[in-house]
Amino acid sequence: MKVAVVYWSGTGNTKAMAEAMAEGAKSAGADTELFSVDAFAVGQMQDYDGFLFGCPAMGCEVLEEAEFEPFFAEAEGSLKDKPVGLFGSYGWGNGEWLQDWQERSKNAGAKVYQDGVMINNEPDDDGLTQCREFASGFIKANA
């Protein structure tokens, strides 16, 4: 399985999660590539079997609006029947941004894995382990 881990990070928290996701996917045997959202184009999606997308909660619990939201809005048209896992950090709220994102992904026809991973602020060792385990499970469930 070839997987792209595509993320946006403002403070480095979601980047750390993305790196742990990539490690977990690789450990489960996936051909895994890690991209910041500005280095990945929707046209590249056809080259991958599945996606792990990461974006923190911003503002009123929404996806980052300058880069990630426009990317994801365009990517939705390429998600039908693709395995997708979602993750991100947050500083406030109850995870509404992740729930909304999951619903959008499902409405686009994606096969959304579990409930995603959200970590309050900077991920500690347990949080990074949770990311690795999530990604490993994602690969095993979709291989």
Under 8 Å CB-to-CB from 49, ≥6 apart: which residues? 1, 2, 3, 82, 83, 142
Task: Give the SS3 label for residue 83.
Answer: strand
| Nearest partner of 68 among 14, 131, 139, 134, judged by Cα | 14
Q: pLDDT tens, 57-116?
A: 998 899 999 999 999 999 999 999 999 999 999 998 889 999 999 999 999 999 999 999
The model carries a pTM of 0.98
CA atoms within 13 A on the CB side of 21: 30
Averaged confidence pLDDT in the chain:
97
Task: Give the SS3 label for residue 10.
Answer: coil
Question: Could you give all domains of the chain from N- to C-terminal order, each with its CATH number?
Answer: 2-142 (3.40.50.360)
Rounded Cα distance between 137 and 143, Å, is 10
* Residue owning tokens 């941004």: 97
